[in-house]
Structure 1
Amino acid sequence: MGPGWVSSALTLVRRHIRIVNIAGAAMLIILGLLMVTGVRGRWIYELQNLSGTFLTPI
């Protein structure tokens, strides 16, 4: 079950490798722009505040 699933998933990725590469490059460019503008830092700060107030139900 496991090896067959992995093999089919890799076949799918190999078939669409150009799209995967373009999507990865676009994500890197967007992340770089967010870092340069300082937006990423603000988002991380807000997520830290949000996670600091999170209480587990147990």
Structure 2
Amino acid sequence: MGILDNKVAIVTGAGSGIGLAIALTYAKEGAKVIVSDINEEHGKQAVEQIKSEGN
């Protein structure tokens, strides 16, 4: 059980750097994460990374 269970987070700039780290951490803590990035491919990679980590 994570501290963000039943929460939804929108993370902008989630394709790299701090945004990616935040998106991964939020997902790990149980939030449903909406990923946004100006670079579509980086955004898709972030989503795949979240999924591959089981979140």
TM-score (norm 2): 0.30
More strand by share: 2
Task: Please identify the structure whose Cα radius of gyration is greater.
Answer: 1
TM-score (norm 1): 0.28
Q: Which has the higher contact order (CA 8 A, sep 6+)?
A: 2
